[in-house]
């Protein structure tokens, strides 16, 4: 059994479906939690809800496609709590476009949010972790699309950026291992969040989706949060550069 008492965790995309579950688990394990996202009101509200549960929490707003904003926000969180031990990056989006119709604007946007944003969140957090000494933990949210293409759908930008995230994290793990900073990826399939509620409400879509998942259901946010807390805790001190698929067995069938 591991606790995270005294640790400071920054969860970006922290008020989204996955992020909110991660924040709750982190708080329950004793971590101080910074909830960050582009919407200041939502970040503050999520932090307030965590405080109501008795956890130490802080809301911070930032624009994840701005490197300067990202650095400012990470510095703000580290200044507020006095340190930074854990980064959980739950920021990500998809803009579906058929490959022959992918626009530069949308591709750049998905790239900026999913991959460039991950790089500079990781860097800003690592600078604090290196300066503090004593290591740190970083967890980024991948996808089964880190490994698998998707037929019949316009997923070029999403697959490319989620695939890139895995090798980015492997490289960051390699460079920061001497500082005891572990960098891992949790790669889920569909997670039941408000973001995809509309798609899941369509029974044809849902049934076709779960028919491909050996465990016969989609992921719940808490499933992702449990893996994230494992990778944020001392239980995983010897694991770095890894992508753990949390997909009900989808990638095992491939």
Partner 1 sequence: MDYQIKDKLAFVTAGAHGIGEAIANLLTQEGAIVIVADQDEAALRERTGWKGTFAADLSSAAGVADAVAHVLKAFGRAPDILVNNLGLADPVPFEDLSDERWARSFDINLMGCVRTCRALLPLMAGLGSAAVVNIASDLAKQPDSSLMDYGACKSALLYLTKGLATQYAPHVRVNAVSPGPIWTRLWSRPGGIADQLAARYGVDRDAAVKRFLAERYMPLGIGEPNDVAQAVVFLASPLAKFITGANLDIGGTLRGLI
Q: Show the tokens assigned to 170.
A: 């492997």
Using CB under 8 A, count the residues that bind partner 1: 40
Q: Does residue 3 bind partner 1 (CB under 8 A)?
A: yes
Distance CA 69, CA 61 (A): 9
User: Among residues 18, 22, 23, 29, which is the contact residue for partner 1, using CB under 8 A?
Assistant: 29
> 50 by DSSP, 3-state: which?
helix
Catalytic site residue 15?
Answer: no
Which one of 130, 170, 196, 206 is in contact with partner 1 (CB under 8 A)? Answer: 170
Q: Per rule CB under 8 A, is residue 131 in the interface with partner 1?
A: no
82 or 178: CB nearest partner 1: 178
Nearest approach in angstroms of CB 166 to partner 1 is: 10
Q: Which position among 55, 58, 155, 158 bears the catalytic label?
A: 158
If the CB atoms of residues 17 and 59 are measured against partner 1, the closer one turns out to be 17
Separation between Cα atoms, residue 166 and residue 161, nearest integer Å: 9
**CA angle 84-70-175, nearest 5°?**
60
CA distance 164 to 146: 8
Residue 249 within binding range of partner 1, rule CB under 8 A? yes
Identify whether the C-beta of residue 236 lies closer than 8 Å to the C-beta of residue 230: yes
List the one residue from 132, 180, 196, 209 that touches partner 1 (CB under 8 A). Answer: 180
Q: What angle do CA 74, 15, 163 make, to 5 degrees?
A: 75
Interactions with partner 1, residue window 185-244 (CB under 8 A): 188, 214-217, 219-220, 223, 226-227, 229-230, 233, 235-242, 244
Q: Which two tokens stand for residue 91?
A: 């920021």
- Exposed / middle / buried, residue 222 (Cβ in 10 Å: 0-12, 13-18, 19+): middle
How far is residue 181's CA from residue 124's CA, in Å, rounded to a whole number?
A: 13
Q: Which of residues 76-105 bind partner 1 (CB under 8 A)?
A: none
Q: Which residues bind partner 1 (CB under 8 A)?
A: 1-3, 29, 170, 173-174, 177-178, 180, 188, 214-217, 219-220, 223, 226-227, 229-230, 233, 235-242, 244-249, 251-253
Give catalytic residue positions: 158
């Amino acid at each position: 059994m591991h606790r995270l008492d005294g640790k400071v965790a920054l969860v970006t995309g922290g008020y989204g479906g996955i992020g909110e579950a991660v924040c709750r688990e982190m708080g329950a394990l004793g971590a101080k939690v910074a909830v960050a996202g582009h919407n200041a009101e939502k970040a503050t509200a999520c932090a307030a809800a965590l405080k109501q549960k008795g956890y130490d929490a802080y809301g911070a707003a930032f624009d994840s496609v701005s490197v300067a904003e990202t650095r400012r926000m990470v510095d703000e969180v580290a200044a507020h709590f006095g340190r930074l031990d854990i980064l959980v990056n739950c920021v990500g989006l998809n803009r579906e476009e058929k490959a022959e119709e992918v626009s530069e604007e949308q591709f750049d946007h998905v790239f900026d949010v999913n991959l460039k944003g991950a790089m500079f969140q990781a860097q800003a957090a690592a600078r604090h972790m290196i300066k503090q000494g004593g290591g740190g933990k970083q967890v980024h949210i991948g996808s089964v699309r880190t490994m698998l293409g998707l037929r019949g759908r316009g997923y070029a930008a999403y697959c490319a950026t989620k695939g890139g995230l895995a090798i980015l994290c492997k490289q960051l793990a390699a460079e920061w291992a001497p500082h005891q900073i572990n960098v891992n990826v949790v790669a889920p399939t569909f997670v039941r969040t408000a973001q995809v509620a509309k798609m899941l409400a369509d029974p044809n879509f849902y049934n076709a989706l779960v028919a491909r998942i050996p465990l016969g259901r989609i992921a719940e946010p808490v499933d992702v949060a449990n893996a994230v807390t494992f990778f944020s805790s001392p239980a995983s001190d010897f694991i770095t550069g890894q992508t753990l698929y949390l997909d009900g067995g989808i990638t095992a069938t491939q």
